[in-house]
Every structure is written in C-alpha cells, then in structure tokens.
Structure 1
Amino acid sequence: MGDFNQSVILDAVRRSSEGLSRVELVELIGLSPQAVSNITRRLLSEELIVEAGKSGSGPGKPRTILRINPSGRYAVGVHLDPALMTVVLMDLMGVVLHRRVRDTPLGTEPGQIIDAIAGEVRALLAESSVDQTRIEGIGVAPPGPIDQPAGAVVDPPLLMGWHRVPLRDALAEATEMPVFVEKDVTAAAVAEIWGGGHGSTQSFVFVYIGTGIGSGIVVDGEVLRGTSGNAGEIGHIVTDPNGPECACGMRGCIAVTCDPQSLVREAERAGVLSTERHRSGDVADGLVRLCAAAEAGDRIACDIITTAAVRTARAVSVLANVLDVDRVVFGGPFWAPLANRYLEVVPSSLLDFRAARSIHPVEVVSTGIGDDVAAVGAACLMLERTLGPRAERLMLAR
C-alpha cells in the first residue's frame, strides 16, 4: 500500500504542469497530511521530485510547490519494426533527449537483430551525458504476438523465423540492463497515457498503424494486456466478407484489407503504383505515393484509401461497442500519410456502427506523440513498471 500511495503522489505531481503543494495533494488524493508529508520527504530524498518555490498571496503561510525532477530517472525505449528500428532516451517527464533510427537488418536471424539493438542502445548512451545509474532499464516494443511472462516474441507474421525468441533475456544479457518486453501497440497506448496531451480521458482505444495494424486498449487509466500480453489483436476482424483470403482461413480480415502493405498491393494491381518494391521498408514509400495520388485527385487512389478508412472504422467499432470508450486515437509509423483522409472518413463511419451513438460521442484524434509513439511508449514502460500507480501494486504476493 505504501508503494502504491507513493506512486499515486508521484503520478499526480507529474501530471500537474504547475506542480502541487502538499496541501493540494492531501485534497486531491485523500491521504492524511502526515502520510503525504512522509511520502513526499521520501520522494525528495530519492530526487524524484524537487521543491520549486512558494505559492500563495493571501493570508497564511505560503505553500511549497513540488514538481517532478526530470533528471530523477531515465529510460531507454526500443521499437522493433520489421522495416525500422527506433531507439530513444527519455527523461521522467517524457521528454526524448536522444534518438537513433536505422533500418532493421536484412534477414530474419534473431541474434543479428538483437545485436543491432544492443549496439544502438550503447551508441545512444554514449551520445548522452546522463547519469547511467539513474536509467531504469530498456523497454522493447516488438510486433506481436508475444509471451509476456517469458519476455519472448512468438511468430510475428512479418518477422519470419522468430519462434519463441527470448528477446528480454537475450537483450538483458547483451546490455547488462533490466529489460521489459511489451507488444508495440500496447506500448503506444502507454505513451498516450503518459504524454498524449488529450485531456483527462481515461478510456480509449489506440489504433496502431505500422507494418501491420493492431490496437492498444485503455480502460479507466489502466492498459488492458490480457493473459499473455496480447490484448487488442484486431487483425482477424472481418471487414469485407468478399475480400481476399487471409492466412487464418477467413476472407476480408483487416490484416489483408487495411494494413499498409495491402493498400500498396491493391494500388499496384490497379495501376496506381509501379510494382518495383524490394523490401518491407518500401511499403512506406508506396503508401506515401498512394496517399499523394489521392490528394492530387486520382479517383482510384481515393477509393482505395476511403474504402480502407471505412473498413478500419468498422473494425474499431467492434472495440468501441464492447468497451464503451469515448476516444479513438490513431498513430504509428504509417499513420501520417493516411491521417487527413482517415480523420475525414472514420468519425462519421464509426458513428454509423456504434451502439451507443445516441448516448455519447466518440472523439477520433491523432496521437500527440508523433511517429515514435511505440519507442516512446517502450521507454514509458520501464517508468510505469517502477513508478506508475498500477492496480497490481495492491495485490499481496503469494
């Protein structure tokens, strides 16, 4: 309970742009003045917060304002995409201090890619001047599915040969740092909680558009991970019963109708794009050119993007109906070129499919984090694991 209360106070101070006094913390959280005083004294001694001047112009003693110490802790975040590898160093306020991006090594040999990740982490830390004893560890966000308790990656569709790869343990051995593995879409949702900038909404779906499409789910401020850490898999929701056949045996799944690679292939078949692509990274270029053609008025390109937006809205409506959220956030490395058209089409289409449309609206927005949302979320993971007010902190160990 003490650890949970400490994390609640730390989170409250972090979320306040102006800082909070001890009196305000008592009123906000409901703990006794003595408990708040003891906890804040401990946070000050650990240099997680700092005293930042006085507040109050009326009668009575001015109140001391407490704010987060950004340099109190740091974390490294890694996003492993089949096309690109992004590594960031983040401080306690969610500010990215250093960033490195490189192509994911060609081929599918896990050891080669893990060595590349470790090399990028070492290079990132060498570029920084931070106190490395204050680094909580490395959060890694690979594509799913994952076995989270084991820290393993299990047969992701676009990383062939990655069968139960022990990514957590292998990277911890290579870097001699604590490592936590989380699915990329869940990491993106964690980033949105920490720094998305969309007000106080506590329940939302994060639709992640990368090489594939997935979703992160947040209810009442808590990320839903599921038994194995794979909650939010939407790739096999059927959006077009007459669509192409999926590897799962059904037809028209979101994985073969809405992901960027499917859109580029459809544009190639329709003659909107050439077929000269050589690796998964070229999907990004193809998607950009497809969206540019749509913006320029190419009717076929417009139809491809609009149809994909409606299909995506249909899939998202399934989650919105089940979870009764009031916000849908889009993001990921392939989101930017699609954003304009999707933000025109998805809100109205989502309204058509929602059961509770007459009761409350669902806002559809872009993430405030940017293209690196999964890497930032991966860094947030380490801070959330050690500092965040998670419900599991209240559970007694067996």
Structure 2
Amino acid sequence: MKRGSNMPAVGTYNQTLVLDMIRRSPAGLSRIELAAQTGLSAQTLGNVARRLAAEGFVVEGDRVVLGPGKPRTPLQLNRTARYAVGIHLDPSVDTFVVVDLAGDIVAHRERPPAAEAGAAELIAALARDATALLRSADVPMDRVLGIGVAAPGPIDHESGTVLTPPLLPRWHHTRLRELLAEAARHPVVVEKDVVAAMVGELWAETEHALDDAALVYYGAGVGLGMAVDGEAVRGRTGNAGDIGHLLVEPGGPPCHCGQRGCLGVSVAPERLLFDAGITDSPAIAPTAVWGAIDEMRTRIADGDRRALAVRDLAAADFARAIVLLNNVLDAGTFVIGGPVWSRLGEALRPALDAALPVMPQITTTRPIVLREARLGTDLAAAGAASLVLDEAFTARASDLMIGLA
C-alpha cells in the first residue's frame, strides 16, 4: 500500500495518490477511508479533496449510513473530467481510441495504414483522424490531456523518435512526438507498443493484481511487457521486451538472425496461415491477414486436422516461451493479448492451457497464472492513451524527491 505524506512540498504527490485510490474504487471512498489508507491527516486530506473537487476530478456520491454515527459521503471519480487519445501504429491496421479518466474507451476507429509516403503527410493524417474522433465523441478540446502513440520498436524514448521498426519502413527515423504535438496541438507521448500495453493493463486493473507481472503481446510481432511494483519496465533505452529471438522450436523455421525456431518466426501469423493451408505463400499483404485469421479460426472450430496441428504447435511454442521467461523473471502472472491474440486466442487458449503445466523446462515453484488482457483488440491503443493518464495521475515515490541547492 502506498502511503502519503503531510509535508507541504508534496501536495502533487498526495493529490495523485488520493485520486488513484478513488479511481480504483468503483463505489468511491469516504474521507475517513482515505485517511486510514493513506496515513494523511484530516486537514491534509481535506485540502486534497477540496482541490480535486475544485478541478472537477471528483464528485460527492450519495451518503452511506453504516450504523451509528455520521453518514459517510464517498468521493467518486468524475470520468468526464479529462480524456486522452491513444494511437497504435501497426502494419495491418492503425487503431485510434479516446478514453475517459477511468481509462474506459468512449470512441474507437480503425483504418488501413495511411498510404502517404512522407513523414509530414503521415503525421498530418494521424492528427486529422485523432481530432475527428474526438469531435465524433463530443469531447471538449480543453479536457484533452494529450495523445499517446504506441509503435513497434526500436524507438528513441528520449526524443520520441521512431527508429527502424522492420514492418513500418515509412515511419523510419520520424520525430513522431515533436511533429505530432505540433500538428495536433496536444502534448504527445511515444512508447514502444509492449510497454504501452503493460501500462494499459495496469491502469485497467483496480486490485493491483498486476503490480508484478508480465504481458505477452501477440500482433504482427511478439513482445514482452513487464511490471515491477506497479510500474512498467522500459529498460535503459525504452526498448525492453524484444523476445522475438527466444528459441522455442529447435529445427523450426529459419530466422534472419541465423537460428531456426525463434519465437517471432515460429508464431508469425503469416507462417501459421501458410502451414495451415489458408494461404499459398508465407508472404501475405498485411491488410489481408485478418480475413485469413478468421478463416483459420473457422477451420479449427470445424476440426480441420491441418489447422489443429498448427494450432497445437503454436500453443506449445507460446507455452515454452512463457515458461522460459518465467524461469528468468519469476513473475508468476502472465497476461496475454494483442491484435492477433484477440482474433485467434479463443482457438489457441485450450491448447496453451494444456501445454503450459507440462513443459519440462519449468523451474519455478508455483504454477503460472495466465490471464486474458482486459483491453482486448485495443490493447496497444488503449495502453497508449493510458500512458497519458498515467503520466498525469499516477503517484510515484520519485515525486517525493526534494532537490538540494
């Protein structure tokens, strides 16, 4: 449990701490409950509550009678106080969402990746579509905190530049944060997609069950998000989570790195579709992937032997990867999600559940808990929007640091 401080120099920390606790309690929390959970004095808590109410972040709910004594009035989150936009750049589809202060999606749009060739045109298209989505949801522009963008790595986290993601060549070396902020006239944060996904799941989780967990992201590529003590792990350069070259299928398909059976190529959607006989070649246009995955899911449901064999091998690859990662991290809880998982996970999950506990590589002492991502197909986009909320409203111990002259 995070504790507050009565020092006047840390009002911002106390305010975000109290707001976060209220946000995670759907019924709201009374001032007495907040005082007990934060350790703040009645005076400090009263000041914090007044500031939150004055800024429109919280409202008072109906009074609750809990036996003798004065009825308690819960403070509840005002979901419409602020909004954020999330954008996920993907080879197959660009996803846009608007979320409210609770992190709930209030508007959603998907479109094929923009056909523009130049960085300026690509940025203009993002800004135009983000603004259109906000207007369609009747969101007041003065309540928009900013825009979060999730992109495949590698990225330059300090400058917000997309470097050289293999499947997004038109975005190479684009100063995305700077240019989009200028075009959209909102603050922008840029994050690697797996980190954004982990932040989104942390924001959506109200019980702190994912404070120490890992997330397997399955989209055009595969990656790993991690959380330690409630904060996403970014790594030294912001590019943590590249697990594509984890060896899971000895003798499997060749990878450009020189190995055979790397996780990235073993569970690549194009490879599964080709091996299942859905496509005639491993080369498939990104925009055709979703329809082909739907066909594979249908064949699995109909008991097609070839499709079932591919399903079982992919499930074993995922199980081996999760076990090997857990041997290193000892996370215990893994979340799995992403655009491809959202479409194929229902068919893969039974085989994955069966393979996971019998993997011979297990060295940890407790069973692995596997959970579906709450944010579904919008995992990265909603996570990107949650980045904006997280930066503005999450209490961190680092906020308590006081510089010395």
Normalising by the smaller structure, the TM-score range is: over 0.9
Matches within 5 A, 1:122-271: 122-196=131-205, 200-267=209-276, 271=277
Residue 103 of structure 1 and its aligned partner are, at CA, apart by: 0.6
Match of 1:354 in 2: 362
Alignment of 1:96 with 2:102, yes or no, is: no
1:227-286 C-alpha deviation (Å, 9 max, x unpaired): 11111111111112312222223221111111212212333xxx4434497521212222
In structure 1, C-alpha distance between the alignment counterparts of 2:118 and 2:212, rounded to whole Å: 38
- Residue type of the partner of 2:350? E
Match of 2:121 in 1: 112
Q: Structure 1 stretch 71-80 or stretch 386-395: which is displaced more?
A: 386-395
Unaligned segments of structure 2, at least 5 residues: 1-9
Match of 2:317 in 1: 311
Match of 1:326 in 2: 332
Q: Are 1:201 and 1:326, in contact at CA under 8 Å, matched by a contact in 2?
A: no
- Residue type of the partner of 2:369? E
Cα 1:119–1:369, aligned 2, differ >3 Å: closer, same or farther? same
Identity of aligned residues (%): 41
1:292-316 C-alpha deviation (Å, 9 max, x unpaired): 2222112121111111111112112
Residue 371 of structure 1 and its aligned partner are, at CA, apart by: 0.8
Q: Could you tell me which of 380, 386, 402 is aligned with 1:380?
A: 386
Matches within 5 A, 1:18-57: 18-57=27-66
Q: Are 1:205 and 1:328, in contact at CA under 8 Å, matched by a contact in 2?
A: yes
Residue 297 of structure 2: SS of its match in structure 1? helix
1:144-182 C-alpha deviation (Å, 9 max, x unpaired): 111111101111010124332111111111111100001
In structure 2, C-alpha distance between the alignment counterparts of 1:342 and 1:394, rounded to whole Å: 45
Alignment of 1:4 with 2:13, yes or no, is: yes
In structure 1, C-alpha distance between the alignment counterparts of 2:220 and 2:134, rounded to whole Å: 28
Match of 2:370 in 1: 364
Match of 1:72 in 2: 81
Q: Structure 1 stretch 274-283 or stretch 244-253: which is displaced more?
A: 274-283
In structure 2, C-alpha distance between the alignment counterparts of 1:396 and 1:248, rounded to whole Å: 47
Q: Are 1:347 and 1:363, in contact at CA under 8 Å, matched by a contact in 2?
A: no
Count of residues in correspondence between the two structures: 393
In structure 1, C-alpha distance between the alignment counterparts of 2:298 and 2:21, rounded to whole Å: 43
Alignment RMSD (CA, Å): 2.1
In structure 2, C-alpha distance between the alignment counterparts of 1:249 and 1:276, rounded to whole Å: 18
In structure 2, C-alpha distance between the alignment counterparts of 1:364 and 1:52, rounded to whole Å: 36
Residue 102 of structure 1 and its aligned partner are, at CA, apart by: 0.8
Q: Are 1:186 and 1:223, in contact at CA under 8 Å, matched by a contact in 2?
A: yes
Residue 57 of structure 1 and its aligned partner are, at CA, apart by: 3.6
- Residue type of the partner of 1:83? S
1:179-226 C-alpha deviation (Å, 9 max, x unpaired): 000111111111111225787342221111111111211122111111
1:29-48 C-alpha deviation (Å, 9 max, x unpaired): 22222222221111111111
TM-score between the two structures when normalised by the length of structure 1: 0.92
Q: Structure 1 stretch 37-46 or stretch 277-286: which is displaced more?
A: 277-286
Cα 1:347–1:395, aligned 2, differ >3 Å: closer, same or farther? farther
- Residue type of the partner of 1:281? T
In structure 1, C-alpha distance between the alignment counterparts of 2:264 and 2:238, rounded to whole Å: 20
Residue 56 of structure 1 and its aligned partner are, at CA, apart by: 2.2
In structure 2, C-alpha distance between the alignment counterparts of 1:53 and 1:129, rounded to whole Å: 28
Q: Are 2:270 and 2:283, in contact at CA under 8 Å, matched by a contact in 1?
A: no
TM-score between the two structures when normalised by the length of structure 2: 0.91
- Residue type of the partner of 1:354? I
Match of 1:341 in 2: 347
- Residue type of the partner of 1:372? D
Q: Are 2:274 and 2:282, in contact at CA under 8 Å, matched by a contact in 1?
A: no
Residue 140 of structure 1 and its aligned partner are, at CA, apart by: 0.6
Q: Structure 1 stretch 84-93 or stretch 316-325: which is displaced more?
A: 316-325
Unaligned segments of structure 1, at least 5 residues: none
In structure 1, C-alpha distance between the alignment counterparts of 2:117 and 2:302, rounded to whole Å: 37
Cα 1:197–1:49, aligned 2, differ >3 Å: closer, same or farther? closer
Match of 2:4 in 1: none
